Amino acid sequence: MASMLEDLSLLTSLHRQVVEESGRADLLEVTDALERRCRGEEEGDPAALVAALDPDTTARIARLLTVHLHLTNLAEERHRARSLRSEDGEYGGGADTGDIGPAVAAAGPDARERVERMRIHPVLTAHPTEARRRAVASALRRIAEHLDAHDDPGSGPSERARARRRMLEDIDILQRTSTLRITRPTPADEVKTVLTVFRQSLIHAVPRFQRAVEAAFGGDVRPGETPLPPIVRFGSWVGGDRDGNPFVTAEVTRETVRAHADQALEILHDAVDRVARMITVDEESTPPTAALRDALANDAAAHPRLLAEVTKDSPNEPHRQKLLVVAARLAATRDERAGVAYPGPDEALEDLRLVQDSLVAAGDARTAFGELQDVVWMVQTFGFHLAELEVRQHSSVHRAALVDVLGMLPDGDRPADAEAAADDAELLDRLAVDGWPELEGTPEGATREVLDTLRVMAWLQQRWGRRSCGRYVVSFSQSAADLVAVRALARLAVGDRPLSLDVVPLFETGADLDAADRTLEAWVALPSTASWLSGVERRVEVMLGYSDSAKDVGPASATLALHRAQVGLVAWAARHSVELTLFHGRGGSLGRGGGPLHRAIAAQPTGSVDGRFKVTEQGEVIFARYADVRIAEQHLERVASAVLLTDSPAHAASRDAALGRFEEVGSAVDAASRRTFRSLVEQPGFADFFAMSSPLDLLADLRLGSRPSRRSGSESGRSLDDLRAIPWVFAWSMTRVNLPGWYGLGSGLAALPSLEPAREAYREWPVFAALVDVAEMSLAKTDDELAAGFLRLGGRPELASLVLEELALTRRMVLELLGQSEMLERKPHLHTAVGLRRPFVDMLSHLLLRGLAEFRSAGEEAGSEWHRPLLLTVNGLAAGLQNTG
């Protein structure tokens, strides 16, 4: 098997051949010289070479470097996938690295019971952090397939030559394909992208994952046992998240679920049809049960033509006949043919289990729990809806809608102060429970859109089942009124018609996290909440926002505030006998809660997981974790292992002891780091300084997603409060400062009388270790010289000095704490990954710095010739840095 470096060498040589054949060997000469200077192999400042480039040459070099970085990412991804397939242990083999077996063994005698209760719930979002176009991703996927064929030991010389020719062709196409989006993607485009991930990977990864967990318990299902229930559920915000995105409407949400259902039914039909044509057991060798005979007789009465056809094609094969009927009915459901279509997935699942039971009764458990069980898991996991679509909206939008409709109440019911009434939780609760008087007017605009969204949710549940669209996430939840507002508006929208609505509070800022348990106390005291709780077996989801809290108080304080909030929420749930699921709004970037997910799970407070883990996945993280079937399976195994182990008695006792022992360390780091972070971002003119130091105002032109970068919808302006966390992190990563991942931690550590307690905390307290690890990775991607260059563009030397001084302090303190001479010294995979890309990322950074300086000094209109080169450079840096947003 080829090594990653061998793959990269091959891809690089093919890329150089393509560039030379295009007549642009001169570009290679420039990049080679730049690379030597960035590596320190040749004297001279890289900036001097870059200063001589015109905009057109800069753009061409940026494209060349971007392709190289895409190929580097591909080589690394393929090496990881091949390593997992060969089970060589490099990326697996332990509870901490993705093999579920050791975790099951370590979990003790009740492991199977705990796994049966486990629920892992990734939620895919459209947050715009994936800078690659779909055309680029498709070309890379084709190159990966050719690389596999070239690497296959069974390939002969002609097959390897063919694979090489095809790689050259696709690399040529990739080099000539624009990496920039011409138009901003619509929500429908984003839905298509997510559906591609399901179709190409997740539908295959889920059964493989279930099999891996079964194998940890011995493999084959034993007599009297049943297969494990599905462990994974998938959610999506794509087409449902309207917080700050005016393009996500009620109609978009309806069409999204329709697209989900169409994809799910096509997948299930194909899977059942394939298994049906495989299971050719006849009734003499494998006699059907009476229940299966009765079912076929009923099918003959209900669907005579269908049964006549399948009987003709499969005589004396009743199990196959029933499965072909199921496949035909799934196709009819997709086509919405009344009379033949299934009313829902439960009926299809019942038919599949009927066939399984009959096979088991006939002594053929192997066939019953073979490929057919994979299909059963698919139906249980994906239903007819594929992923559970969740609606999200900002609390201020609900408040504005309430002010609007409260003003339309009749004279006797209309409040004197509609704005005060919109914050009155008890009033809103009465409206939710008792209903609304008839309005004197018709809601329009944003208010009507809120009501239409709730009406569409009710319709979708009626058509595709409750799981299709039942959760409503309230961004910036700050009070009980913010939560009951949704239920009050729902009662106005749908009246007494059925609507299953799980309102999910999202706590995002430092202050909101600190007050989360108090907000929930007031919420559960309301009659409408109490009624809902009894109907959902007292199951409650609470979402925690990582990105806005980090932008609010800094990365170190945000991590510790989130931990405190979770401890408080676990206590709140225990007081109210609530089964709590914490929904973690983690981003892909290190500044937004990113990093190794299994380490993050291990850092959760005792009782906060309890077999349930829900998390957002977005942008480049979706493709990194789920685009390849084997990598997706391994990722799910890794998460399951962490979930299984994190609340084991040994882990819980160790974590609780560490929490008590190092609470003072955490408090001291929290206070000092928060103070340092706030003292920077509260400086007058800091927002302007940040915008001028970075390509912030250019990010909208990348057209990464349908959502504007600012909640107000404005693409410019100078307010950090209005700025979303994604562009905040993305822009800082472009400057090689990576401020959101580390700023304040150095001051926090320096505030300790000694680092020895912090070293012990790093070894023994998982949340503190996760905090330091994120900072270490962020610091590994910084560059002092380049950072200073970008910060100079801000025109505020005193602010630049504050940032650079804290950078130097944080680097020194983290290295001293870890006992290392360089970042990632003890993380060889990450060290190699960053090191492979660094010279090329540095080259792009020099191009970006020079281009921004030209663009700013000439003025936007005069410097417009630099606009496209700048966008190409930012796109390339996103490929090289990998976790930018």
Active-site annotation, residues: 127
Which candidate, 658, 504, 494, places its Cα nearest to that of 584?
504
Distance CA(191)–CA(260), nearest Å, equals 9
The phi, psi pair for 252, rounded to 5°, reads -60, -45
Q: Which single residue is written with the structure tokens 């999910």?
A: 504
Phi (first) and psi of residue 63, to 5 degrees: -65, -40
The C-alpha atoms of residue 159 and residue 155 are separated, in whole angstroms, by: 6
Percent of the chain as helix, strand, coil, to the nearest 5: 65, 5, 30
Q: Kindly state the helix (H) or strand (E) to which residue 708 belongs, with its residue range.
A: none
Of 751, 812, 802, whose CA–CA distance to 776 is shortest?
812
Residue showing tokens 């404005």: 714
Cα separation, 133 vs 420, whole angstroms: 47
Other CB atoms within a 10 A radius of the CB of residue 473 amount to: 24
The answer to whether 557 and 678 have CB atoms below 8 angstroms apart is no
Q: Where are the alpha helices (DSSP H) in 23-156?
A: 25-39, 46-51, 55-86, 100-107, 111-117, 134-151
- 590: DSSP letter: G
Q: Which of 234, 302, 299 is nearest to 615 (CA)?
A: 234
Q: How far apart are CA 382 and CA 203, in angstroms?
A: 8
Which residues does 392 contact at the CB level (< 8 Å), separation at least 6?
237, 240, 241, 242, 243, 472, 473, 474, 475, 506
Question: Is residue 140 within 8 Å of residue 201, measured between CB atoms?
Answer: no
Q: Which residues contact 732 (CB under 8 A, 6 or more apart)?
A: 591, 690, 694, 738, 739, 740
- Using alpha carbons only, give the angle 796, 801, 806 rounded to the nearest 5 degrees: 135
Please state, in angstroms and rounded to a whole number, the distance separating the CA atoms of residues 638 and 657.
Answer: 25
- The DSSP code sequence of 250-271 is HHHHHHHHHHHHHHHHHHHHHH
Contact 95, 645 (CB under 8 A): yes
- Give 252: exposed, middle or buried? Use CB within 10 Å, 0-12, 13-18, 19+: buried
The sign one gets for the Cα dihedral 718, 723, 727, 729 is: positive
Residue among 245, 353, 337, 772 nearest 345 (CA): 353
- Provide the token pair at 8: 């990269």
**What does the DSSP assignment read for 730-754?**
HHHHHTT--GGGTTTHHHHHHTSS-
Q: Which residues lie below 8 Å from residue 375, measured CB to CB, with a gap of 6+?
A: 268, 271, 272, 275, 352
H/E stretch holding 476: none
Q: How many residues does the chain have?
A: 885
Q: Do residues 705 and 877 make contact, with C-beta atoms less than 8 angstroms apart? A: no
CA angle at residue 483 from 482 to 485, to 5 degrees? Answer: 70
| Residue labelled with tokens 């208010």 | 447
Per the structure block, which two tokens stand in for 545?
Answer: 């926002």
- Residues forming a β-bridge with 616: 123
Bridge partners of 123? 235, 616
H or E stretch at 879: helix 867-881
d(Cα 578, Cα 540) in Å, to the nearest integer?
Answer: 7
